[in-house]
Homo-oligomer: A and B are copies of this chain.
Amino acid sequence: MATINDVAARARVSTATVSRALNGKSTVDPALAARVQEAAAELGYQPNGLARNLRRQETAVLALVISDVENPFFTAIARGVEDVAQNAGYSVVLCNSDEQLAKERRYLEIALQERVAGVILSPVGPSTNVDTLTGRGTPVVAVDRPLTEPSSDQVLVASRPAAQEATAHLLAAGYLRVGCLTGPAGVRTADDRLDGYLDGLRAAGVAPEAALVRRAEYRAGCADAAAAELLDLESPPDALLLANSPIAVAVLQALAARGLRAGRDIGIVAFDEVPWATLIDPQLSVVAQPAYEIGRVAAELLLARIGDHTRQPTATMLAARLIPRGSSRRSLGES
């Protein structure tokens, strides 16, 4: 594999000149520059990024560590990050922690070892630790979920009021026994959505029933059991607030298996807008989170931080939007 030395030899110049010519840094005699370009082309020279980065002590790549590649919410964030990064000349590598602390830790370690310019991550849980990163001067932005030690920028969504609003909406629609199926304890969004749900009950003067609350993993295929438990209760809920879309899939499947119809038999509101929300009958009422926007803002924050390591950490709180559809309407009208 051709190196800068080969190019220099072939162009009969020094390696310094090759470097300058190829990077367009300092000004180089046009004739020499041309010779260099030609030699590089003939040799099919590809600069060794490793060597360059080692020398420069910096990399133009951002790491994005998300907790579930299969969740559309996170892939939408990825798109937001990527668009901003590309514009600024950065590449982004996506790492899937799969909601597993060990994988997450491993990817963060790699990010550190590979000296990426910055990291955006949705922390798997409360014990996620980024001190090694920040300690070494690698800027970190947390998305979706906060870091326990907030020395980093954060871009979150106000889940709790959104969950409260969704609960109030279900109550207002006439449902009496509203339940909640949320994510694992310790995961902030899961706890917030549960708290918001309780807020909603309280505001309406409804006494919460522990039996109507369940937790499940956030990933696909993990909420089946919890969904079944809830629906098969002696006195089951007549409405449900669901904390994300994989959970919604599980519940909707359980509903179908029991011949239950959303809206009429059981009111449903789920977090996260999905492409199929309007394809099901009745249509799925959702709390839409600005996923792409989260990614966009996070990337901007990260780049700003990379440019100025002295910036104070900021916390951005984005709003979620309730989109009421048929699944939270008791009447039989069209979706």
Interface residues of A (CB under 8 A from B): 1, 44, 46-54, 59, 61, 69-70, 72, 75-76, 78-79, 82, 86, 91-96, 98, 103, 106-107, 109-110, 112-115, 132, 135-137, 220, 246, 249, 252-253, 256, 274-276, 278-281
Q: When the two chains form their complex, are residues A103 and B115 in contact, meaning their CB atoms are under 8 A apart?
A: no
The distance from the CB of A7 to the nearest CB of chain B, in whole angstroms, is 15
A selection of 8 A-B contacts at a CB cut-off of 8 Å is A48-B115, A50-B113, A92-B95, A94-B96, A220-B275, A252-B279, A276-B276, A279-B280
- Determine the chain B residues whose CB is within 8 A of the CB of A274 once the complex forms: 276
Closest residue of B by beta carbon distance from A76: B70
Q: When the two chains form their complex, are residues B93 and A47 in contact, meaning their CB atoms are under 8 A apart?
A: no
The distance from the CB of A309 to the nearest CB of chain B, in whole angstroms, is 13
Closest residue of B by beta carbon distance from A250: B275
The distance from the CB of A218 to the nearest CB of chain B, in whole angstroms, is 14
The distance from the CB of A275 to the nearest CB of chain B, in whole angstroms, is 5
- Determine the chain B residues whose CB is within 8 A of the CB of A53 once the complex forms: 50
Copies of this chain held together in the complex? 2
Q: When the two chains form their complex, are residues A46 and B86 in contact, meaning their CB atoms are under 8 A apart?
A: no
Q: When the two chains form their complex, are residues A279 and B278 in contact, meaning their CB atoms are under 8 A apart?
A: no
Q: How far is the CA of A61 from the CA of B49 in the complex (A)?
A: 14
Q: How far is the CA of A264 from the CA of B156 in the complex (A)?
A: 45
Given contacts A86-B103, A103-B86, A106-B91, contact A115 B50 (CB under 8 A): yes
Q: When the two chains form their complex, are residues B281 and A253 in contact, meaning their CB atoms are under 8 A apart?
A: no
Partner of A46, one of B44, B82, B113, B278: B113
- Determine the chain B residues whose CB is within 8 A of the CB of A136 once the complex forms: 1, 46
- Determine the chain B residues whose CB is within 8 A of the CB of A107 once the complex forms: 91
The distance from the CB of A44 to the nearest CB of chain B, in whole angstroms, is 7
Closest residue of B by beta carbon distance from A284: B279
Partner of A280, one of B86, B137, B276: B276
Given contacts A72-B70, A279-B276, contact A135 B44 (CB under 8 A): yes
- Determine the chain B residues whose CB is within 8 A of the CB of A61 once the complex forms: 110, 114
